[in-house]
Amino acid sequence: MMWLTPSESEALHLSLAVATRSVVFSLPLAVILAWVLTRRRFVGRTLLDALIHLPLVLPPVVVGYVLLLLFGTRGVIGSWLQSTFGIQLIFTRSGAALATAVMSFPLMVRAMRISLENVDRGLEDAARTLGAGPFDRFATITLPLMLPGILAGAITAFSAALGEFGAVITFVSNIPGETRTLPLALYTALQSPGAEHAAARLAGLSLTLGLAGLLLSEWFARRVRRMLGR
Amino acid sequence: MLTVAVAKQRGAFALRVHFELPTPGVVALFGRSGCGKSSLVNIIAGLLAPDAGSVALDDFVLLDTDRGINVPPERRRIGYVFQDARLFPHLSVAANLRYAQKRAVGAPYVSLDAVTGLLDLASLMDRRTHQLSGGERQRVAIGRALLTQPRLLLLDEPLAALDGARREEVLPYLGTLRDQLAIPMVYVTHDFDDVLRLATHIVLMEAGSVIAQGAIGEMSLDPHLRAIIGPDEVGAIIDGIVLGIDSGTNLTKVRVGHGELYVQAMGLAAGTALRVQLLARDIIVSTQIPQHLSVRNSLAGVVTSIQGDDLDSDLVTIDIGAAQIMARITKAATRDLSLRPGMKVWALVKSVSLRGHSFAAPTPDSFKAAASAASRDA
């Protein structure tokens, strides 16, 4: 993109890459958890629900700190990942994706739950009487009918992932080309004397992205509603 | 044979049901709203678990709580037509039908083409389900249920949400299914008109229990049914046989019991089964051969019973040979004519209601035997 400086372009690409990775990996898990929380009654359901929603109410820095404890090089999971698979999350864009995924996960699950609650269970019963087993019903009836919620959840989470700051900077630091996403680049510009113009451009870029995301989400939602005949 | 014997407690409401239906046949589960009809079909379908009991279709045990058998709905091979159709909104009509077809097991007895033809669905295939009228939705739902190649079809008030004209978009098709596919059906309704048009048997329900059951002819005279539908709707329902057209009057001659009735019906071939309803309030009783009267139709018979209906009137049951009819007359008339069981009388029929034709051959009396056996067990 010729109208962006190399560092702006780098931050933009990085943001998009991190947000995409974050959404792609958390989406299947969010669908499963939304289904479990909506349709199943079990001991510990409320606790699981609370854990998923925790990032909404915690300061992002705390989430970043907890991720450091767990996924850092000496953390329980982090050291295991390092020794078994050679995967390092700290100071990498994969780590940034993990941090944004955790932060945006509750938004994604919420949107899906609302949509799943609106799925008429009578239709699933009808599918049963037509010979569809549990997985068949889920794949052919439940999933398509909750598609509006899945799309809404994915788009909301993607937008939130683009803007995540606190958890990212705490967990993976602010490394140009690796973890310096748009908000981190904006923060860096604000900290540097004489970079007011650069900061304004980055803010404008974020604004454009956010607006595009919202419009795209509305357009998608309309198409899906039409497809479902509502 | 469909055998159902189940119990289910739901708060203060207790469902206790035992009935048997010879197959093929159409049993109407008839009763007021809230009597447990829908719970019962959900139990038969497997969507609702009873506390105890068994459901069996011929030698195929679907549920037996004593033996720990509970076949899940998706493997029961029971078609279910819901009151609200429940078509899948994200699929076209054709895709809804194929959904069922793909999941059918066993040797198919009805093809997609046959279903499309029977239910007139060809022009609807490409539509989305929200573009269908209420009657069309139900026809698609019926077709979809049939394409699973079910051994039994459950219909839970499929016409309840439809107005009069829309009902006529569906009812004739149900009659066609009954006559051409010979698929056993359990038809839940609180509308007696549906029963008249479709049922071969009635299971009468009240407050979670079966209060009477039997073939439609005998049930039409049952006092329990009278209590539900009211005295003005009571009358014999008889499956007569068309004998031919009377050349002088152009009326259709129908054999009813050992007698004959003349009715206005169009183009029915001799031999066609024609269901007639003779309302008790439309029948006049005479102790002499009727002469010099404007009423043309009369049936000779013997009084079998006289029951008080209310303060002023009696219900007189008359055996017309192989069938029974019922007349409502005033108590004063009973007294003046000195009516008593065993007396030979003539029933003058003021009007005959036609309730559909080409019914399958009348089912044997096995239902009666099964029903009495069932009530002995209960």
B218-241 pLDDT tens trace: 888 888 888 888 888 888 898 888
A139 at interface of B, judged by CB pairs closer than 8 A = no
Q: B369 pLDDT exceeds 60?
A: no
B79 at interface of A, judged by CB pairs closer than 8 A = yes
Instruction: Return the percentage of chain A with pLDDT > 70, whole number.
Output: 98
B173 at interface of A, judged by CB pairs closer than 8 A = no
Contact between A168 and A64 under an 8 Å Cβ cutoff? The reply is: yes
Q: What is the mean pLDDT of chain B?
A: 85
* Alpha-carbon distance B126 to nearest alpha carbon in chain A (angstroms): 14
Q: Which residues contact A34 (CB under 8 A, 6 or more apart)?
A: A109, A112, A113, A116, A146, A149
Q: What is the pLDDT of residues A142-179, one digit of tens each?
A: 999 998 889 888 988 998 899 899 999 999 999 888 89
Indicate which CATH number applies to the domain containing B267.
2.40.50.100
pLDDT interval class at A2 (50, 70, 90): low
Q: Please check whether residues B16 and B96 belong to one and the same domain.
A: yes
Here the tokens at position B206 are 């009240």
Q: Please check whether residues B56 and B186 belong to one and the same domain.
A: yes
The superfamily CATH assigns to domain A14-227 is MetI-like (1.10.3720.10)
Q: What is the pLDDT of residue B44?
A: 94
Residue B370 lies in a domain: no
Q: Please check whether residues B220 and B81 belong to one and the same domain.
A: yes
B-chain residues near A229 (CB < 8 A): 89-90, 128-131
- Using only the alpha carbons of chain A, give its radius of gyration: 20
pLDDT interval class at B293 (50, 70, 90): confident
Q: Please check whether residues B14 and B144 belong to one and the same domain.
A: yes
Distances (CA, A) of B209 to B15, B37, B221, B234: 6, 9, 20, 22
Q: B365 pLDDT exceeds 70?
A: no
The number of beta carbons lying within 10 Å of the beta carbon of residue B227 is 14
Q: Which of B72, B29, B64, B123 is nearest to A130 (CA)?
A: B72
Q: A1 pLDDT exceeds 80?
A: no
Region B268-276 average pLDDT: 85
Q: Please check whether residues B200 and B245 belong to one and the same domain.
A: no
Q: Which amino acid is at A186?
A: L
Residue B47 lies in a domain: yes
pLDDT interval class at A19 (50, 70, 90): very high
Q: Which of A31, A32, A36, A52 is nearest to A147 (CA)?
A: A31
Q: B42 pLDDT exceeds 70?
A: yes
0.95 surpassed by complex ipTM = no
Q: On the CB side of A143, how many CA atoms lie within 13 Å of its CA?
A: 12
pLDDT interval class at A230 (50, 70, 90): low
Q: Please check whether residues B260 and B224 belong to one and the same domain.
A: no
Residue B368 lies in a domain: no
Q: What is the pLDDT of residue B353?
A: 80
pLDDT interval class at A139 (50, 70, 90): very high
Q: What is the pLDDT of residues A81-131, one digit of tens each?
A: 888 888 888 889 899 999 999 999 999 999 999 999 989 999 999 999 999
> How many Å apart are CA A111 and CA B328, to the nearest integer?
65
Could you say which residues from 73 to 92 on chain A have a Cβ atom under 8 Å away from some Cβ of chain B? none
Strand partners, B17: B6
Residue B284 lies in a domain: yes
Here the tokens at position B165 are 């004209």
What is the count of structural domains for chain B? 2
> How many Å apart are CA A124 and CA A134, to the nearest integer?
9
Q: Please check whether residues B204 and B247 belong to one and the same domain.
A: no
> How many Å apart are CA B242 and CA B261, to the nearest integer?
10
> How many Å apart are CA A144 and CA B88, to the nearest integer?
10
Here the tokens at position A99 are 């941090």
Residue B363 lies in a domain: no
pLDDT interval class at B187 (50, 70, 90): very high
CB contact under 8 A, A128 and B84: no
Here the tokens at position A83 are 């020794």
Exposed e or buried b for every residue in B72-94, given b needs 16+ CB within 10 A? ebbebbbbbbbbbbbbbbbbbbb
CB contact under 8 A, A125 and B86: yes
Minimum CA–CA partner of A146 in chain B: B90
Q: Please check whether residues B245 and B127 belong to one and the same domain.
A: no
Q: Please check whether residues B104 and B191 belong to one and the same domain.
A: yes
Q: What is the pLDDT of residues B157-185, one digit of tens each?
A: 988 888 877 888 788 888 888 888 888 89
Burial of B305 from C-beta contacts in 10 A (0-12 / 13-18 / 19+)? middle
> How many Å apart are CA B48 and CA B45, to the nearest integer?
8
B-chain residues near A148 (CB < 8 A): none
Region A54-76 average pLDDT: 91
Q: Please check whether residues B224 and B313 belong to one and the same domain.
A: no
Question: What are the DSSP calls for B152-166, one per residue?
Answer: EEEEESTTTTS-HHH
CB contact under 8 A, A130 and B145: yes
A136 at interface of B, judged by CB pairs closer than 8 A = yes
Which domain covers residue B69, as residue numbers?
Answer: 2-229
CA B177 to chain centre: 13
DSSP H/E element including A170: helix A166-172
Region B312-340 average pLDDT: 89
- Phi/psi for B245 (5° steps) reads -100, 135
Q: Please check whether residues B223 and B274 belong to one and the same domain.
A: no
* Alpha-carbon distance B193 to nearest alpha carbon in chain A (angstroms): 27
Indicate which CATH number applies to the domain containing B21.
3.40.50.300
Could you say which residues from 328 to 347 on chain B have a Cβ atom under 8 Å away from some Cβ of chain A? none
Q: What is the pLDDT of residue A61?
A: 94
- Give the residue extent of every domain in chain A: 14-227
Residue B274 lies in a domain: yes
B-chain residues near A144 (CB < 8 A): 90
